[in-house]
Structure 1
Amino acid sequence: MTEKAQNINLNKAKSNKKDEFYTQLSDIERELKHYKKHFRGKVVYCNCDDPRVSNFFHYFSYNFEKLGLKKLITTCYKSQDMDLFSTNNAERAIYLEYEGDKNGNMLPDASDIGIKQLNGDGDFRSEESIELLKQADIVVTNPPFSLFREYIAQLIDHDKKFIIVGHQNAIKYKEIFPLIRDNKLWLGFGFKGGAAHFINKHYEDYATAADRKEGMIRVSGVHWFTNIDLKKRHEDLILYKNYNPEEYQKYENFDAINVNKTKDIPIDYDGFMGVPITFMDKYNPEQFEIIGVGIANSGLEIGIQPYKPEHKYYRKEVQKRGAVNGDLYMMINGVVTVPYTRIIIKSKKL
């Protein structure tokens, strides 16, 4: 699915009341197995997460003793249907507290779980939810994609560790990118094949036949975001290509070379390089320095020059495309060429 198609589908989902998205248990298990040592003795909070249907609640409650948790808290918006966009159509919000097995069968029975009603709507921004957040050591959930900026800001403001689902487009948000650049936020291990299948029975799936799953929707570019240190974050990206000026085009408006694929980053280039956003999945802060992102105002802030008048005219009037100052562009055979979003990096080992 193209990036444009993904965005259209996600925008449709925001306005469609029947779009319920549930993270698969297998995806949760595949990611969280890398963090097990971090959960011991901790309070885990799953907000934006209806415990009546949540696979996050299932995972943590059934693995409570194995992980050595201290407490599990889950809350949900007053919609009974958990989705990516917090639709609002149920009467009361609830929260659950689980502190482990009490009757010896090592299962989360109803008698073990404290079910309590909230006075408000359960929105993660409400005072009640914030008070629960203050108890937490680690937050794990699939928050509303449309509120991702606010959600991350709240976690950072309250100095919480987290493992959450988000779309890779969030990397370039002006509120999110500085956190990534400053090593306060990074990507986890990710979803298999770089896409997630969310459980969904109402939404039209545009996946190819080979990748279609009944009752699910495939969303490309979905990832796990975290601020918990991982071994993969300290593994060098293995590179094998050498710099060749004929292969690596320079930008017209910034002193950097364009690299179309992460695997093609030249091993011997000591200047600035523009790499795809997917580079972040391989980013090692000991190997590379992140300078900025080459789009709009974020690009201008790091010294990317505005379009030359003749190039802006060509882009808008001949190509009939947008020409935003701060976006990187190249001149290839006299044609204005704008790559997809590029992260500007520099090697730390040269």
Structure 2
Amino acid sequence: MAGNSNLNDSARNKQDEFYTQLSLVEIELKHYKRHFKDKVVLCNCDDPYESNFFKYFAMNFNSLGLKKLITTCYASSPVMGKEFEYYVDKGGQLSFMPTETPAKAENERHPYKVEITEVTDENGDGRIDLADVEYLMRNRKNTMTLLDGDGDFRSPECVELLKEADIVVTNPPFSLFRDYMAQLIEHKKKFLIIGNLNAVKYKEILPLFMNDIVWLGCNSGHYWFKVPDSYEEKKTDFKIDETGQKWRRMGNICWYTNLDFEKRHEELTLFRNYTPGKYPKYDNFEAIEVSQTANIPCDYYGVMGVPITFMTRHNPEQFSIVGVLNSGSANEYDFAKAILNGKQLYARVLIRRKQVSENED
């Protein structure tokens, strides 16, 4: 599928530096504002000042009613310190780069954390923007501190920051998505993170959906991400803008969360009727094939195989998730390959419609 070749590159080559556009953050976060009041937010896979997650929460700190914002960066990040110059002085302290001082060598930069507890309109322009946040950092009202380690989300000091946080919001490395999700679940954290839709099938993640512990967010699709200059050019899903910035398009991008929102409780309108001719059964599994989510029959209560994109419309009050038809061996809920009339299909999610409620006609 178009846009998925970049995900494959990420998995093979550990190319995990995909930087999220601010617009993508904004259109998703608007659905969860009620969850953030008086909360500590952690962005632990981000480069402060380069990250649009940091920018969103810093600029909306007061409107969301945040208690604190914590952002950490990773040592090997190729963009660390590009927008907001800093250096480590002779005493080992983190200092901001004076405008008249030439930029220091790259090897003098180290991973660090930023903690924001106050954002005010310091420049008096009537709005809160990054200029205000930068002013506050320079005047030490908030803190910018060196990390002891490399900033990896699994490091002991970053785990301690995770324990302090109420909600985690970020774009974690695609190649480490399983590990990242496992850590969030282990520490019982609320979260909203970017991932690929195909991760739903993972043996570590599918049961979370089946038990309504995790679900997908509001928006999904094929999106463009900034990538470092070192990433090679590609024939498809790649572009260079007028500033020379490289971009790659990722397919089937979605948000994984355990924050509730109204849209996920909207019932899917069903209007087609079941007939054996229209809905054949798989050759190797007792379930009917439904090739499109829009074609789910309104009068069938057995097991159905639907495209994985169904998960973006899943309503837990309307359907139960039974398992998947994928490889037939990935996990205990992966029952078989999806084979119909001798032809293997793309992976299917197995669902069953819940019984009609008393209020339903």
Pick aligned residue for 2:348 from 334, 342, 346: 342
Structure 1 residue 301, shift from structure 2 partner: 3.4
The 5 Å alignment of 1:311-330 reads 326-330=336-340
Q: Does 1:14 align with 2:14?
A: yes
Structure 1 residue 10, shift from structure 2 partner: 3.2
Pick aligned residue for 2:269 from 214, 238, 253: 238
Q: Does 1:195 align with 2:222?
A: yes
Does the Cα contact within 8 Å between 1:249 and 1:257 map onto a contact in 2? yes
Higher relative contact order (CA 8 A, sep 6+): 2
Runs (4+) of structure 1 exceeding 3 A deviation are 1-13, 102-106, 205-208, 296-304
Structure-2 change in CA distance of 1:32 and 1:287 (3 Å): same
Structure 2 unmatched ranges of 5 or more: 81-106, 357-361
DSSP-derived class of the 1:170 partner:
helix
DSSP-derived class of the 2:31 partner:
helix
Pick aligned residue for 1:73 from 55, 70, 78: 70
Structure 1 match to 2:117: 99
Structure 2 match to 1:320: none
TM-score by length of 2: 0.80
Structure-2 change in CA distance of 1:241 and 1:103 (3 Å): closer
Does the Cα contact within 8 Å between 2:11 and 2:174 map onto a contact in 1? no
DSSP-derived class of the 1:345 partner:
strand
Deviations 1:166-220 (A, max 9, x none): 01111101111111111111110124xx111102364435547xx9673321111
Aligned alpha-carbon RMSD (Å): 2.4
Pick aligned residue for 1:275 from 294, 306, 309: 306
The letter of the residue matching 1:328 is A
Structure 1 residue 5, shift from structure 2 partner: 3.4
Does the Cα contact within 8 Å between 2:208 and 2:214 map onto a contact in 1? yes
Tell me which protein shows more helix as a share of its residues: 1
* Number of equivalent positions: 313
Q: Does 1:26 align with 2:53?
A: no
Structure 1 unmatched ranges of 5 or more: 84-88, 305-325
DSSP-derived class of the 1:268 partner:
coil
TM-score by length of 1: 0.83
The 5 Å alignment of 1:168-183 reads 168-183=197-212
Pick aligned residue for 1:59 from 56, 61, 65: 56
* In structure 2, distance between residues paired with 1:235 and 1:90: 52
Structure 1 residue 344, shift from structure 2 partner: 0.6
Deviations 1:19-38 (A, max 9, x none): 74210001101100111111
Structure-2 change in CA distance of 1:263 and 1:186 (3 Å): same
Tell me which protein shows more strand as a share of its residues: 2
Deviations 1:291-349 (A, max 9, x none): 11112356873594xxxxxxxxxxxxxxxxxxxxx223122xxxx21111111100103
Pick aligned residue for 2:249 from 193, 200, 218: 218
DSSP-derived class of the 1:296 partner:
coil
